[in-house]
Structure 1
Amino acid sequence: MATKETSLTNPSCSARSRSTDDDTQALGNHGEVDMGDHNANSTKLGGGPTRRLADLLSDAGRFAYCGLVTTALQQLFTDTQSDTEFAEHSLQHMLQHLALPKTVADVMEVTLSGGCGTGSEVGYRELLKEEPVLQRSAVPLVQDLVILAVQSGSYDARTRVLIGHVSVQMRVPLDVMEMLEESVHEYLTEEALPTSPEEAARQQTAQRHAKYRRYTMIGLATLGGGAVLGLTGGLAAPFIGAGLGSLLGAGTITAFSSTAGVAVVGSLFGAAGAGLTGFKMKKRVGEVEEFEFEELTVGTSLHVTIAVSGWLSKDMPTFTEPWATLHHSREQYALRYESKYLAELGNTLDYLLQFAFSMAVQESLKYTVLAGIISAVVWPASLVTLASIIDNPWGVCCRRSAQVGRQLATVLLQREHGRRPVTLVGFSLGARVIYYCLEELAQRKNSAGIVQDVILLGAPVTACPTNWKPFGTVVSGRIINGYCQKDWLLHFLYRTSSAELHIAGLEPVKWIDRRMFNFDLSDIVSGHMDYANKLEQILRTLGLRTRDASRADAGLKKSATFSPSATEFDKIRNSRRAQEDAVLKPLRRSFSEPALHRPHSPPFGRRAKRASLSSTPTSGLIQP
């Protein structure tokens, strides 16, 4: 979207910038902030003119800025035709944004085609560090990329992956990048959504506290030299000193405050403005009877997360409860689907698991029965007798989950969520839903740039790389396959449901691609039901942000199963863990492979609390 540039010589360029400056003035009382720029333009709180980053960089700085972005595009998005077209379009947008001459454009086009080799990003990074405006922090560069992205009204998943990659290269924490996204989102929604005076006052107070929290976070961001910019040294950046209005620049303020700005918001967040909770299934897909979204968190964001459960149980009877501690983004939904069938499956799984443990205890001195279960070479006859009980609900849910996945793909293609990146995370049959969603997206047009990251846990789907390869056209970021080699229940369930010999929930997917990451969760997951019971620990291990379980509305339940007989269940519940350890411990394999030692691991950039997790990356790229 084209914007008209205007001067910021008038300190009150808009009511919004004045309001934001007033909000940030309180922080200035703790210590005067003046980042300045290379032309000595003051950026003190409530103060004088500021300029776009492109205007503050030298010719060498603009060249390095474009070169860094182009190198990232070449590394990330040249595998498929749609990605190549995206990379070429992004390069042209960047050249125009930085007003670079044709000679530079020619060099960048060669770089994008891979003609400049590797390692050039190091030189670009060092050049940028010499720029006065970036010497103290590279945050202005990241915020410039975020603003440039949302101005078009479409925050492509590939764009977000690109910005995250550049953030890591410039040593800007991903949490800070998300804070910048939050600020831009907050500004956009304030402009577009009218409220009553009372509601506006309440929101203003809440948002002021949120701003202070973000400012502190950004101000404490670790800089390239390892120093930390404290409160008395200035709260990071032009971002705070100038306020959001000055940060965006006069041209951006003009655009966002106009009718065109409302159109940008409508494009980003969906015309209805109700998010995914407003979606109603108008037409059935196959046998699907139930398909809707429930809010996990209240709020909107530039990034959406959709969580998909694999079953319902007595301990976790709702679709939201397993995900109570998930906090990957401010806007999160749980997919509600086929609850009647998933509840029946959950009851059956619990009964089967209880029976298996009872049988294992009876044979604990011999170890032969459970050893047979784990190896799945010869299934015990007593367990096979229960096959008729489990096979039917499992088969029904497997079939319906595939159809639900195709329906989810249709919803995403219709942009019910707007034009924002989506992260999909699911366990068991929920992971199967996501798998078939990706499969459907890969077969449809205009599906690139919707899905950013995918996390599949204990997925009852094929591990054949040929089946996963098409996902490279629809997933911009990372595909995480979390598996457990000793998940005998999944192996037993899959023995007749499919002829597949390789199951993603039991082994790594050997697809060589920069997107693909396999994580052996055997040190955390001792059985299939643990994907729900230990979900918070799994998410933390993979680097997804979580909330404190004690502060969440619903904590994770520790009990794994329930029996049709409450009396029998109470007897088993208290002793089952001890029984399981007594029987399983001698049979457990030892997993001592080292953790993934990379500059940016685990896969979502946040430190895992369990460093012993075995992981298998397929690329050495530094990514968000």
Structure 2
Amino acid sequence: MASFIHNPFAHDKDKPQETPSQEPAKPDEQSLTTILSTHDQRAELTLLLATCTALMRKPITDIFDPRYAGKLSDSQFDNPLENKNLDLSKVNVEEMDKEREEAEKRIKELSEPEMQGLKKAALAFFDAWRDSVLGRVGQILNGEGEAKGQKEVVSKTLVEKKSEESAKTEAVKLELKSSIEEENKSESELVTEAVKNLYPPVKTPLADLDEEKRKLILHSLMLLLLSLEHYAAHSRILLLHMTSSLNLSVEFLTQNESATARTLIKAAEEMNADKDVAKKADENQSSRKWKVGLATVAGAALIGVTGGLAAPLLAAGLGSMMGGLGLAGTAAAGYLGTVAGSTVVVGSLFGAYGGRMTGKMMDEYAKEVQDFGFLPIRKFSKPRKIEKEYRRLRVAIGISGWLTDKEEVIKPWRVISPSIEGFALKYEMEALLNLGNSMTTLLKSQAWALAKKEIIRRTIFAALTQALWPLGLLKVARIIDNPFTVAKTRSDKAGQVLADAIINKAQGERPVSLIGYSLGARVIYTCLVTLAERKAFGLIESVVLLGAPAPSDSADWRKMRSVVSGRLVNVYSENDYILGFLYRTSSIQYGVAGLRPAEFVRGVENIDVSDIVDGHLRYRFLTGTILKKIGFEDLDLEEVEQERMEAEELEELEERQQEKEHGKGKGKDADEEAKDMEKEVEKKNEQNMMDWATGKLGLSGEKGSSLWSGWGGKEEGKRAEAKGDEVHAKSAGTAANK
């Protein structure tokens, strides 16, 4: 594998770009130049863009700043070694010495060639992207040089001030509140509030324009970003900064993204690719080439594989998409540049999903990881409908960390709404089923019940890292140690494969958000570290890790943060005794992210959920609840509520089962109970594999069987489709009303 990936921005400035017609605009046909009619207004837009990109650049340099120690004072970037305002009479000398030692350790860590190289590469990538954006906007506003020059005059003081405002919310942490006022807030309000905290608005006269004009500015910028032939994660974060500064809602941005994606797909699909599919089939000689080649082309068929005739369709679609705002068709086509004239480019943007992952790439990944593949979170009764209507400019991938049945690959991720294109990662089913069965069996045992009472009685969790686990529990540990070790090793491999799939654009040129619990979070951890090692920036938008069985040391989290353009959230619980038990060997000394904060790296959000997560298996039933609390953008609140009710029912059932099982276990010593538990796990695993082999798990997709056989059914498909229709209707906005 290459150490560096191609920088897609390096040559953008040399590409000829179409410019909008300079004919006078009709009253209902607006463009950036008609809305920003004066030179001063255009200068304000380029200045705003330059300021926002400068604000985006500073967190990258902050990642590699050794002064950050994870304290509240760091919101003002106070260095504990040089703080002139420090009251020495109130200083604990031992703590001060410890802080000094930690600071010296960070300085040494960041002076290593690997970290210096990572910093240099991250900044070089960002600067190339920024130049391409400012240059493209400058072309439209007739001042490319002026637009790029704005980045040099942006006030350093302003950037630092805004960075500090953002850091304040980070230092205070996004605590999970249970007040009535918080619970009654809508998803849109929670998200908008979180975005304004994370991306404080930049003061600009443009915020005083009419709302319709501000919306059209944001929409036009989105088209200009797409004209770069990708929708990089940096581009999405820039639009969040602009949304906040223009005083628009995040909901509008999301709906605008959905409507734009739908228009691109619809226009490009008009180019019928049937002939190209047939031609490709004739070109393939062998049976193997036929199967792989057709799969690849068929995946691209929905958006076509020819180019050159899409521009009028796209211009018409985008010109009417904003309804009353009336973006001129000539402006729309000009803003999109080559994207408006090539369905090949549109296909690359969306990844032609189904093609790339079932072709050569899938063959290669199958050698590395069993069952590797992306499953759509929702099943639609009309198979092609999701392809046409529900493609999005952004992708979310949910990753489960253990399984007890087939549905747990997908079910936890139904809380992700259709406002983003959602997938579940399926990998190493056998290993994850084995782990899930082992963990649930252990939790029902008498040995665990007695051990937990002893653990709670000690109160100090740190003592458990000193090999002070109850002897009875250690005797039954063999039923879970090997399954965890095997699943963890395979999760690391899956993370490397996932990184390769993302780099190779299996999901297109779109920003990807990753969410995972337990070993699913481990997959993400390995994926991000691999992306950093390969200098693959601008691909990942946001990441949420729940109960991650991964190190919490700063070196790894610094690498991870460097490849995440948006939020990197570490959700942990100090009550996760199972994770502590699984990590009780040498790994524990380095700290476990799922048990404690990942410290000393600025830009990492650490969320303590100890009050609601009393065990490792709880994450599976609290994904939606936790995502809602942290202000995750794309949530289906109906599914979140459904998840909550299922969690309550399960908890009651578990309590009854534990009472029953503990009664059976009385009188048995730990060795006897361990043998019984091993038999139970073996029986569950055999049943799972039998179901899988006979197709009851419905997730293999082999031998012509439906990828979705055995899952969901017609009613589930209708329910998912209805929710998609609702999002579709909202996305239409003023155009639908008109």
Common fold: TM-score over 0.5? yes
Aligned-residue offset at 1:295? 0.6
- Tell me if structure 2 keeps the 8 A contact 1:303–1:420: yes
CA distance in 2, matches of 1:276, 1:367: 46
CA distance in 1, matches of 2:539, 2:549: 24
Secondary structure in structure 2 of the residue aligned to 1:423: strand
Aligned-residue offset at 1:81? 2.6
Please point out which of 577, 594, 597 is paired with 1:508: 597
- The answer on 1:170 being equivalent to 2:246 is yes
Distance 1:456 1:561, change over 3 A: same
Aligned-residue offset at 1:187? 1.0
- Tell me if structure 2 keeps the 8 A contact 1:270–1:419: yes
CA distance in 2, matches of 1:161, 1:178: 12
- Tell me if structure 2 keeps the 8 A contact 1:454–1:480: yes
Please point out which of 608, 612, 618 is paired with 1:530: 618
Distance 1:189 1:101, change over 3 A: closer
Q: Any unmatched runs of 5+ in structure 2? A: 1-15, 61-122, 164-199, 273-301, 303-319, 379-385, 664-738
- The answer on 1:185 being equivalent to 2:261 is yes
CA distance in 2, matches of 1:569, 1:560: 12
- Among the aligned pairs, what percent are the same residue? 28
| Amino acid paired to 2:392 | S
Aligned-residue offset at 1:169? 1.9
Secondary structure in structure 1 of the residue aligned to 2:629: helix
Distance 1:382 1:317, change over 3 A: farther
CA distance in 1, matches of 2:642, 2:356: 22
- The answer on 1:471 being equivalent to 2:560 is yes
CA distance in 1, matches of 2:573, 2:655: 30
Q: Which moved more, 1:187-196 or 1:282-291?
A: 282-291
- The answer on 1:142 being equivalent to 2:142 is no
- The answer on 1:294 being equivalent to 2:378 is no
Please point out which of 63, 68, 75 is paired with 2:55: 75
| Amino acid paired to 2:628 | R
Distance 1:160 1:503, change over 3 A: same
Aligned-residue offset at 1:275? 7.3
Aligned-residue offset at 1:241? 1.2
CA distance in 2, matches of 1:356, 1:279: 50
| Amino acid paired to 1:166 | M
Q: Any unmatched runs of 5+ in structure 1? A: 10-38, 44-48, 197-202, 204-236, 575-624
Secondary structure in structure 2 of the residue aligned to 1:453: strand
Secondary structure in structure 1 of the residue aligned to 2:133: helix
- Tell me if structure 1 keeps the 8 A contact 2:50–2:134: yes
Pairwise CA RMSD? 3.8
- Tell me if structure 2 keeps the 8 A contact 1:306–1:334: yes
Higher-helix-fraction structure? 2
Tell me the equivalent position of 1:109: 152
- Tell me if structure 2 keeps the 8 A contact 1:320–1:334: yes
Cα deviation digits, residues 376-424 of structure 1 (max 9, x gap): 2521111111111111000111111000000001101111111010001
CA distance in 2, matches of 1:320, 1:123: 37
- The answer on 1:251 being equivalent to 2:334 is yes
Please point out which of 408, 411, 415 is paired with 1:321: 411
Please point out which of 125, 132, 138 is paired with 1:95: 138
Secondary structure in structure 1 of the residue aligned to 2:223: helix
Distance 1:352 1:549, change over 3 A: farther
Distance 1:525 1:480, change over 3 A: same
Cα deviation digits, residues 228-287 of structure 1 (max 9, x gap): xxxxxxxxx993214466495353589665xx2313312211256757577863225886
- Tell me if structure 2 keeps the 8 A contact 1:373–1:380: no
Tell me the equivalent position of 1:267: 348
Q: Which moved more, 1:535-544 or 1:343-352?
A: 535-544
CA distance in 2, matches of 1:506, 1:149: 40
| Amino acid paired to 2:488 | C
- The answer on 1:335 being equivalent to 2:425 is yes
Aligned-residue offset at 1:62? 1.0
CA distance in 1, matches of 2:364, 2:34: 49
Tell me the equivalent position of 2:506: 416
TM-score (normalised: structure 1): 0.70
Q: Which moved more, 1:63-72 or 1:117-126?
A: 117-126
Secondary structure in structure 2 of the residue aligned to 1:350: helix
Tell me the equivalent position of 2:207: 129
Where do residues 502-581 of structure 1 align in structure 2 (5 Å cutoff)? Answer: 502-514=591-603, 516-544=604-632, 545-549=634-638, 557-558=646-647, 571=660
- The answer on 1:3 being equivalent to 2:18 is yes
CA distance in 2, matches of 1:88, 1:147: 17
Secondary structure in structure 2 of the residue aligned to 1:498: helix
- The answer on 1:84 being equivalent to 2:127 is yes
CA distance in 2, matches of 1:135, 1:554: 37
Distance 1:463 1:57, change over 3 A: farther
Tell me the equivalent position of 1:484: 573
- The answer on 1:404 being equivalent to 2:497 is no
- The answer on 1:52 being equivalent to 2:12 is no
TM-score (normalised: structure 2): 0.59
CA distance in 2, matches of 1:439, 1:139: 37
- Tell me if structure 2 keeps the 8 A contact 1:307–1:335: yes
Distance 1:88 1:109, change over 3 A: farther
Aligned-residue offset at 1:572? 5.9
| Amino acid paired to 1:379 | W
CA distance in 2, matches of 1:4, 1:493: 60
Q: Which moved more, 1:374-383 or 1:519-528?
A: 374-383
Aligned-residue offset at 1:444? 1.1
Aligned-residue offset at 1:322? 1.5
- Tell me if structure 1 keeps the 8 A contact 2:545–2:571: yes
Please point out which of 391, 401, 411 is paired with 2:481: 391
Distance 1:423 1:54, change over 3 A: farther
Distance 1:391 1:155, change over 3 A: same
Q: Relative contact order, CA 8 A, sep 6+: which one is greater?
A: 2
Aligned-residue offset at 1:543? 1.7
- Tell me if structure 2 keeps the 8 A contact 1:460–1:490: yes
- Tell me if structure 2 keeps the 8 A contact 1:428–1:460: yes
Distance 1:120 1:562, change over 3 A: closer
Aligned length, in residue pairs: 489
CA distance in 1, matches of 2:638, 2:407: 18
CA distance in 1, matches of 2:154, 2:558: 26
